[in-house]
Amino acid sequence: MGVEVDKGKIYALSDVSKHNSREDCWLVINGKVYDVTRFMEDHPGGDEVLLAVTGKDASNDFEDVGHSSTAKAMMEEYYVGEIDASTIPAKVKYTPPKQPHYNQDKTTDFVIKILQFLVPLAILGLAVVAKKEDIVSRFMAGMDSDPENVINPKYLLNITLNFLIAGKDTTAGTLSWVIFLLCKTR
């Protein structure tokens, strides 16, 4: 299964990969092969952590955890040999899939075309929905029907706010007419 060396055998990764169960678990760490089967139940991270790194070079996983010097010294009792480095596949660098080129100019043109269509449509819709009414004519209509209510400050505040929010005729000239008419009625 391997060639004899001073400290053990040289194993191919394919041979080590066969030892991937709770009853027979081998790991490759820093070029060495370890039979950690006896340690499975005692491993602080649980046996699933060890099983997850079988069949590959687990060096990075081992180093990422940050094992203590005591843990590293314990590994010697599980040592069974060396790994044949030529049997470990080269690390493949992840390259993300090609994304289609994002063209900012086309997006801007699209937005402009949509706005050129929607803005006039919105203005037309508002013109159809909005009645031809200004704050002065509404005030005068109120004076004819219920003069006491029109002079009420709450009514005046409500009518003014409604015209401001609705965006109807709220120019300074129109609002000054309301103030003039209020002063005239007192």
35 three-class SS = strand
In this predicted model, what pLDDT tens digit does every residue of 36-81 receive, in sequence order?
999 988 888 888 989 999 988 888 888 888 888 888 888 899 999 9
The last residue of a domain, from among 28, 55, 87:
87
Residue 70 lies in a domain: yes
Q: How confident is the model at residue 11 (pLDDT cuts 50, 70, 90)?
A: very high
User: Which tokens in the block code for residue 109?
Assistant: 């043109």
- Rounded alpha-carbon distances, angstroms, from residue 129 to 121, 123, 132, 138: 12, 10, 10, 17
Q: Tell me the whole-structure pTM to 2 decimals.
A: 0.46
As for how many domains the chain has, the answer is: 2
β-strand pairing of 32-35 with 3-4: unpaired
Mean pLDDT, rounded, for 138-157: 70
42 three-class SS = coil
Quote the domain boundaries for residue 42. Answer: 3-87
The whole-number pLDDT of residue 175 equals 63
In this predicted model, what pLDDT tens digit does every residue of 72-114 receive, in sequence order?
888 899 999 999 988 888 775 666 777 666 666 666 777 888 8
- Rounded alpha-carbon distances, angstroms, from residue 85 to 11, 16, 56, 90, 92: 9, 12, 11, 10, 16
Residues 139 and 67 in one domain: no
